[in-house]
């Protein structure tokens, strides 16, 4: 019989599933290039859902911020690695999803913009000023 702890069980981070997707994808290089690319895109979709919940619906905790930043960096790095392989292979094979090399490049750029949005050099005071002046909306 397993003894029950008197302390509450730790609640898993909403980022743990995203981290698993990214880690699994980058560790197992046995998948074909198209499959790796599609898995990376799926990891980004899960990242975006988690980002919405932790950074837009709720106020992000310090742990959310750290996880978000680390996973975002890993997704950008993996995208760059995939893009290099795609160029070496002469492009992605035709696929039912219609994903092309330019799509991968655009997604990497979008991830870079997300990084700049959250972790760029704009101060919180300047961000609040811009949001207030342009949109009459207080910054969160």
pLDDT tens for residues 72-124?
A: 999 999 999 999 999 999 999 999 989 999 999 999 999 999 999 899 877 77
Torsion of Cα atoms, 98 then 91 then 117 then 74, to 10°: 110
Spatial distance between the Cα atoms of 128 and 126, rounded to a whole number of angstroms: 5
For helices 62-88 and 101-119, the axis angle rounded to 10 degrees is: 150
Residue with the bigger pLDDT between 55 and 129: it is: 55
Look at residue 5 in the predicted model and tell me its pLDDT. 39
């Amino acid at each position: 019989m397993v003894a029950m702890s008197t302390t509450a069980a730790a609640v898993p981070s909403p980022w743990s599933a995203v981290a698993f997707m990214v880690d699994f994808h980058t560790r197992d290089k046995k998948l074909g290039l198209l499959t790796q690319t599609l898995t990376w895109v799926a990891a980004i979709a899960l990242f975006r859902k988690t980002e919405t919940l932790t950074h837009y619906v709720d106020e992000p905790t310090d742990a959310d911020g750290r996880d978000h930043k680390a996973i975002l960096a890993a997704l950008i790095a993996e995208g760059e690695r995939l893009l290099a392989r795609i160029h070496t292979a002469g492009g992605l094979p035709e696929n039912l999803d219609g994903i092309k090399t330019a799509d991968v490049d655009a997604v990497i750029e979008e991830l870079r913009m997300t990084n700049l949005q959250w972790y760029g050099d704009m101060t919180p005071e300047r961000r609040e000023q811009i949001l207030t002046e342009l949109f009459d909306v207080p910054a969160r």
